Structure formats: structure tokens, C-alpha cells
Structure 1
Amino acid sequence: MSDISETGSEPGSPTRNGAVTKSESQPSIVPSDREKKIQSIITRTIWTIIMIGIFFGAMFAGHIYIIIIVTAVQIISFKEVIAISNVPSRARSLRFTKTLNWYFLGTTMYFLYGESVIYYFKHIILVDRMLLPFATHHRFISFMLYVMGFMFFVGSLQKGHYKFQFTQFAWTHMALYLIVVQAHFVMNNIFEGMIWFFLPVSLVITNDIFAYICGMLFGRTQLIKLSPKKTVEGFIGGWIFTIFFGVLLTNLLMRYKYFICPVNDLGANVFTGLECDINPVFIKHTYRLPFIPPTWSHLPVTISVEPMQFHILVMATFASLIAPFGGFFASGLKRTFKVKDFGDSIPGHGGMTDRMDCQFIMGFFAFMYYQSFIAVYKASVGSVIETAITGLTPEQQMEVVKGLSKHLVNQGVINPKVLQYLGEQLKRR
């Protein structure tokens, strides 16, 4: 009796329909480790080029496109950080867990984006009848939205799942702080001027590249156990090269108003440019060198340089010596949950959070540093309008209008007939 079944299951034998089964002499082709590595490098390179193209295309197309990218990055990063926590199988059936996560994200973004838009575009929002109530009561509206989410969370608590639900509540708020709140300050950097966004991002990327190169060439001493491949030599080498790169890049960007001007037109792009009064930090100042002895007359005793060149030394140092700890924190987080990457949002690169772990804290620092040491505070049209609307009665506001109109007539800016017309119209009120 033959061992061959009626279906022709012997390796290499034909079946009734004529097909040939897989033979032991024809093993499946399994890619080797080398082939997998090459394929991974190719995929990583292709997506690196794509991301660089999208980034520079958006930056030159206008500030609004960069804002869209930052928004997408923070949403994807939030999703990845929320998903990294281990969710018990019996708790996955809870109906409102994910809904509450996204609700709190939406509420936080509404509050933070609203704060930025109101601050930078007061002169537009506060004179619009539809937007004025939302602007003047923005914080209260945001608070009530959060309270509604809080009440809904308490109402959704189910017996047997308390620990999981409260853990998720805390985890969500931590993700909101580490990602969404810090991304809010990155957004503000864009409004203050493209240089305050592009420069910190570039410094972190440059430091990452040169720290890797220096570590690969000279690395001998392990820097931190959370990231075994990081070395002291790479850490210091990356710092030195980042400072040189930062000085050169700053010298280039300072030449273009598109980068150094605050946003006053969201429709502007690299071709239309922007116009503004240049911040003194970008104007050359003459400094006397204190360490040149009077007897050394052949040496220059003064130097002319933009103050920004001194500030970039601080920013490059932060990007090299402190921002990497955002990456170390992310490494510790991944080790805690025993995952290699936060996700697979970017083929060949892992998750979005894996690429942004140092960027958020760097952007936060850039905003705080700019506001503390570089920003020039002066009255703006938006701040004056806000003061008039919120601090004066309608009658007082009309007096302000009359006073400003009379001043403009005296300066020859507007026709006296305009003042006469306004006077007649305001009397009717």
C-alpha cells in the first residue's frame, strides 16, 4: 500500500488539481541578518530624506504649515505614549478609557492653542464680535471643559477596575504635560520668529549626529547605564561640534527677516518675506575686550559682534549637555515597559516620540530663554486694544477713539473731516 495520500500530499507530488506541494528540497527563502540590516538602512534613509523634504518644504511655505506639522507631531506622540502602558485584557473592554484620553487631549490643546492665538493676534480677535466672547472668557471655558471631563471620569469608574482607571488618568496627565504642554512652547517659538523654532531643532539634530560619530570613533567610557551605547567622548565631541555649527547657522539665519521677524502675517512665506523692527540681539554691538593689556597695542581691544552669537553658545550647550537627558528619560521609560520603540509611526525610525524625545525639552528651554534674556517688551496694538476693551467702559472707549483721532489729525495723518464724521456718529450713540 502506498504512503501517498489521495490528495497527493507527498513532498513534490502533484495534487488532483495539478498543483505541486512545497518540497523539502525547495526550502523557503529567509532573508539573512545582513539583508535585513541593509533593507532597514535603505528604509531608514528613504524616510529620512522624505522627512527632511517635508520639514524644509513646510518651513519655506509659511509658518502655518510648520504649526500643522508640530500639531501632528504632538498628537502622534501623545498617542504613542498613551499606548505604551500595559493595558490589562479585562480592562480593554471599558468603553470610555480611550474617549477620555482624547477628550483631555482636545481640551488641553484648546486651552493652549487659544492662549497662543489670543496673545499673538489680539488685534484681530478682540475686534471681532463673534470671537470676542471666546477670547475674553477663554480660560473659564477651558476650565469648565476640563471639569466636565473630570466629572465624566468619576462617573465612569467601575468596580474592579479602579486601579487601572486611576492609573490611566495619571498616565494621561503625565503625557499631556511632557508632550502637549511642552509642544505649546514650541508653537510659541514659531510665532516669535522662525529662527527660534528652527535653531533649537537643528542644534538637537546636529548634536545627535556628531555625538554618534565621535562616540563611534573615540568612544571608550560609558556615559549612562540607561543608554549603554552613549559615551563620554561622544557627549563632549557632540557638544564641541554643535557649538561650531550653531555659530555658523546663526550667522546665516540672521541675514533674513523671514527667520528673525515675529509672525504678523500667517500668509507669509520665504518668497514674500516678513517686515519688522529688528530685535537688537541681531544687530552688531561693539564690545571692549577686558583681558588685553594696554602695552599690547598691536592687538585689537574691541570686537564687533551680534549679541545673538553669545546666546547661541548657551543654547548649543543646553542642546548638547542637557537636552539629551530627555532621550535618557525616554530610554528609561521604554525599559520600564520592555519595548524597543514607542511605536512604528516612521518606517525605519520607530515611533515619533523616539525622534522627538529631546526636541520637546529643547523647545521649552528656547522659549524660556528667549522670554527671559532676548525678548523686547513694548506696547503693541493688541495689548492696547485688550486694555481698552477689558478695562474701560464704552463711554471711555469712545473718548479714546476721539482722542486718538484728534491726535492723528494734528499729525496730518488723517483728514479733519474724518474727525468731524466720527464726532457726529459718536454723539448719536
Structure 2
Amino acid sequence: MTKPRRDVKFQHREHRGSGSSGKPRRPSTSEISETASDPGSPSRNGAVAKAEVPPTSEYEKKKQTFITRTIWTLVMIAGFFWAMFSGHIYIIMIVTAVQIISFKEVIAISNVPSRARSLRFTKSLNWYFLGTTMYFLYGESVIYYFKHIILVDKVLLPFATHHRFISFMLYVTGFVFFVVSLQKGHYKFQFTQFAWTHMALYLIVVQAHFIMNNIFEGMIWFFLPASLVITNDIFAYICGITFGRTQLIKISPKKTVEGFIGAWIFTVIFGLFLTNLLMRYTYFICPVNDLGANFFTGLECDINPVFLPHTYRLPFIPPHWTHIPSTITASPMQFHIMVFASFASLIAPFGGFFASGLKRTFKIKDFGDSIPGHGGMTDRMDCQFIMGFFAFMYYSSFIAVHKASVGSVIEQAITGLSSEQQIDVVKGLSKHLVNQGVISNQVLELISGELTRR
């Protein structure tokens, strides 16, 4: 007979607070008996159902996280490849968005105390310095790679020739405003914020600027380094859980020496394969000379010799019985890619270790929640920034072919010659083109006549 008592308890709880007087109403005998005899009564089933709902298990949480992470991974991969094949301008937009979101996440770590102290203009100054830095860096890239367009435009010419001075004055304006906004009692904290902002600008925005230059130099210099970092991260995880035993670094306990070395080997192999594939398409190896181009229209350029086959003679003559040839034919890029893969495997991961130490300092798990299932944008880009920086420096030092361009010649003529000297250059070039049969003599006479009247 204990069963009706349990039902009475649930019935009483259900009617608590009911009635006109607001006092709990005792259930009648008929209600008690009806509840006890009817196993399908709402009160009984509701109570039993509530009692039998198990809490979400750890397995279910991991399963849901894995599903969310997988879906967003596929979405990001699809969006990235769509942008890459659609044209360089879309990849530039993605890189711009990544650096803005990453800057926001890093700055947000230290913005909470500023709101608590009710300090004015702290957040506004952060974004002002971001805008000033991006204006300077983006302007440098655009002027360098598109001189032939910028320097002949009447409106853009003053901004191009005085770009660095304008950028400097914008920064000085922010600097003065910061000094004026200092409040008594908060000096140490505000200067800490000032230093934190500039550290974020250097680690994120400045390094992302070189990634932007990689895109202008050729899609391969952007896509290849990024792919190597991702590949190394994947194989480090696989090798680590397969045969990892020895801890690599204390700040990241899950990283193992075996996973570190195994990922290096697989990254080199993958890099050789991907390089041989990308070198077949001029869209990847040609510098950007048309922002409207895409993968299907392609690009045209003089191929960098690093992508052309070259015959190398071995430093020794192997014995005949080994059947090893004394020469090998390969493109120099196949040797350079080993350096890229080694940096992506041995040095770039320390960008992730640095980010891990930063998160431990502020006692946070992720930099943000910009990407569901993955954490913040900075959590995914911590190694990419330093890898992109290295790729540009290595390319500029060992691979780039430095020669005169239309933009550089126009820049020198505009900034280094007087108007009379510029006219002489036009006349000289026109006469040369006539001698080469490119233009007719009538065109030369017309140009000379117009320039003489001026």
C-alpha cells in the first residue's frame, strides 16, 4: 500500500499553490484512488518521466561536440576552396576578416578590466590603432603591387606619394589622444593596455600583412604554407595517439616527441606531392596582375625559374652496379618545399605553444567562440601567422626574381624626374617604338607635336 502514498505525494506537489486562496488543497479520496489505479494518469507519468530522465552523459557531450566540429570544418573547407578558386580578391577578404576577428579576440582578454574600471576610450583606441595599422600596411602592399594603376590616377597619386607620412600622422593622433585620456590612479593599467594593443598588432596584423603579400606574389605562396601547417597538425595528432609516449613540452601536455617527428616526415611527403600538383597551373604560380582573374580564366606571366625543371649532377659518381643515375632532373621548388615543410613542422607549432601559454596565463580555455566546435579564430590561426611571415621572408630572400616592372619605372619617373625630363622620356620611348615597328611615325609626330605645345 506504499504505492498510493507515493502518488499522493506527487498529486499534492502538483496542486500546491492552486485554489482561490493560494493555500495548498488536500486531494480528495476519489482523486487519490483514481491516481493510484490509473497508471496512465498525467500526474503519475509526469513524475515518473521526470525521475527517469538521465543527465547528459559525457559520451553524448563529446559526440555532439564532434558532430558540430565536423560540420563547421567541412563548411570552412568548402568556403575556403570556393574563395580560392573564385579569385585572389576573395582570399584577401578572408584574410582581412581573420585578422580583424583574431585581433578582437586577443584584445577582449584584457578589455574586461577596463569596463570594470569605467575607463573611457580604451576600446575605441584599440580599434583606432587597428585601423591605422591596416591603412599603413594595406597601402604599402597596394602601392607596391599596383603602381602602374595608382600612380597614374590623379586622385590617388597624392595619397600614394605621401602614404607613409599620412599613416604616421594618423598614428601620432592616436598616441596624443591616448596621453590625453590618461586618468589619475589608472596609469599603470592604461599603459599595460597600450602595450597589450601594440603586441596584438604586431603578432596578428603585421604578420597577416605578409600573408597578404604572399597572395599578391602568387596563390601558391599562400595556399602551400597554410596547407603544410594544417597537414602537420593532423599528422601530429594521428602519430601522437598512435605511438606517442614521450611528452614534448610541459605547456602543452598532449604533445609528444613521437607525434612531433612523425608529423615532420609526413608533412615533407605531403608537401612534395602538393607542390608537384600546384606547379602545373599558372593560376597558382603567377603573381597577381589582374584581381578579376579566377581559376578558370587563369593568369599569364613569365614563369619563375624555380618552377622549371633543372638537371643536377650528383657530387659523386655512383658505382655501375647500383644503377643509380649520376644526374637527376627536378625543379628547384622541390628542394625549397622541404625547407617550408620543415619550418611548418619544427618551428610553426611553437606559435601554438605560445598561444597555449597565453591562454594559461589568463586562465581561459579558448580565445573565443567565433567558430562553433573549434573555439576562437585565434585558436585556429596561431601557427598560420608565423608560417605566413616565414614564407614571405624566405620567398623574398631565395626565390623572388627582382627585375624592373612597369610600376617601378613609372614610380621612378614620377618621383625622380621633372616634368621636362618626363616629356623627354615619353619622346624617347615613342621613338624607340617607331624604330621597332610597334607604332607608326605619324603617331610619333602627333605625340611630339602635342608635347612640344605644352
Tell me the TM-score normalised to structure 2 length: 0.90
Tell me which amino acid in the other structure corresponds to 2:282. Answer: K
Pairwise mapping of residues 321-336 of structure 1 onto structure 2 (< 5 A)?
A: 321-336=346-361
Which position in structure 2 is the counterpart of 1:30?
55
Match of 2:417 among 392, 409, 415: 392
Pairwise mapping of residues 12-91 of structure 1 onto structure 2 (< 5 A)?
A: 12-13=14-15, 16=18, 23=47, 26-27=50-51, 30-85=55-110, 87-88=112-113, 91=116
Question: Between Structure 1 and Structure 2, whose CA radius of gyration is higher?
Answer: 2
Q: Cα 1:380–1:9, aligned 2, differ >3 Å: closer, same or farther?
A: farther
Render the CA deviation track for 1:380-407: whole Å, top value 9, x for unaligned: 0000000000000000000000000000
Deviation at 1:13, TM superposition (A): 2.9
2:310/2:331 contact within 8 Å kept: yes
Render the CA deviation track for 1:130-154: whole Å, top value 9, x for unaligned: 0000000000000000000000000
Render the CA deviation track for 1:127-184: whole Å, top value 9, x for unaligned: 0000000000000000000000000000000112111111110000000000000000
Answer with 126-135 or 30-39: which moved more. 30-39
Deviation at 1:31, TM superposition (A): 1.7
Answer with 83-92 or 365-374: which moved more. 83-92
Which position in structure 1 is the counterpart of 2:367?
342
Which position in structure 1 is the counterpart of 2:243?
218
Which position in structure 1 is the counterpart of 2:25?
none
Aligned residues: 422
Tell me which amino acid in the other structure corresponds to 1:283. Answer: L
Q: Does 1:119 align with 2:149?
A: no
What is the alpha-carbon distance in structure 1 between the residues aligned to residue 148 and residue 16 of structure 2?
80
Q: Cα 1:95–1:416, aligned 2, differ >3 Å: closer, same or farther?
A: same
Deviation at 1:30, TM superposition (A): 3.3
What is the alpha-carbon distance in structure 2 between the residues aligned to residue 23 and residue 103 of structure 1?
58
Deviation at 1:29, TM superposition (A): 5.5
Which position in structure 2 is the counterpart of 1:131?
156
Match of 1:371 among 396, 401, 407: 396
Which position in structure 2 is the counterpart of 1:285?
310
1:86/1:337 contact within 8 Å kept: no
What is the alpha-carbon distance in structure 2 between the residues aligned to residue 162 and residue 9 of structure 1?
64
Match of 1:410 among 435, 439, 449: 435
Secondary structure, counterpart of 2:85 in structure 1: helix
Which position in structure 1 is the counterpart of 2:39?
none
1:85/1:337 contact within 8 Å kept: no
Which position in structure 1 is the counterpart of 2:209?
184
2:218/2:288 contact within 8 Å kept: yes
User: Any gaps of 5 or more consecutive residues in structure 2?
Assistant: 1-9, 21-41
Secondary structure, counterpart of 2:311 in structure 1: strand
What is the alpha-carbon distance in structure 2 between the residues aligned to residue 88 and residue 214 of structure 1?
41
1:12/1:23 contact within 8 Å kept: no
Tell me the TM-score normalised to structure 1 length: 0.95
Render the CA deviation track for 1:42-84: whole Å, top value 9, x for unaligned: 0000000000001000000000000000000000000001112
Secondary structure, counterpart of 1:160 in structure 2: coil
Render the CA deviation track for 1:198-252: whole Å, top value 9, x for unaligned: 0000000000000100000010000000100000000000000000000000000
Secondary structure, counterpart of 1:303 in structure 2: strand
Tell me which amino acid in the other structure corresponds to 1:190. Answer: I
Match of 2:13 among 11, 23, 26: 11
Secondary structure, counterpart of 2:328 in structure 1: strand
Which position in structure 2 is the counterpart of 1:232?
257
Deviation at 1:297, TM superposition (A): 8.1
What is the alpha-carbon distance in structure 1 between the residues aligned to residue 367 and residue 322 of structure 2?
60
Which position in structure 1 is the counterpart of 2:33?
none
Secondary structure, counterpart of 2:143 in structure 1: helix
Deviation at 1:293, TM superposition (A): 3.5
1:204/1:319 contact within 8 Å kept: yes
What is the alpha-carbon distance in structure 2 between the residues aligned to residue 20 and residue 144 of structure 1?
74
What is the alpha-carbon distance in structure 2 between the residues aligned to residue 298 and residue 319 of structure 1?
35
What is the alpha-carbon distance in structure 2 between the residues aligned to residue 287 and residue 17 of structure 1?
97
1:47/1:347 contact within 8 Å kept: yes
- Percent of paired sites with the same residue: 80
Secondary structure, counterpart of 1:128 in structure 2: coil
Q: Does 1:149 align with 2:174?
A: yes
**Aligned residues: CA RMSD:** 2.0
User: Any gaps of 5 or more consecutive residues in structure 1?
Assistant: 1-7
What is the alpha-carbon distance in structure 1 between the residues aligned to residue 87 and residue 93 of structure 2?
10
Which position in structure 2 is the counterpart of 1:102?
127
Tell me which amino acid in the other structure corresponds to 2:14. Answer: G
Q: Cα 1:17–1:358, aligned 2, differ >3 Å: closer, same or farther?
A: farther
Answer with 416-425 or 258-267: which moved more. 416-425
2:318/2:325 contact within 8 Å kept: no
Tell me which amino acid in the other structure corresponds to 2:389. Answer: F
Deviation at 1:95, TM superposition (A): 2.1
Deviation at 1:24, TM superposition (A): 8.2
Secondary structure, counterpart of 1:421 in structure 2: helix
Secondary structure, counterpart of 1:286 in structure 2: strand
What is the alpha-carbon distance in structure 2 between the residues aligned to residue 107 and residue 279 of structure 1?
35
What is the alpha-carbon distance in structure 2 between the residues aligned to residue 45 and residue 216 of structure 1?
19
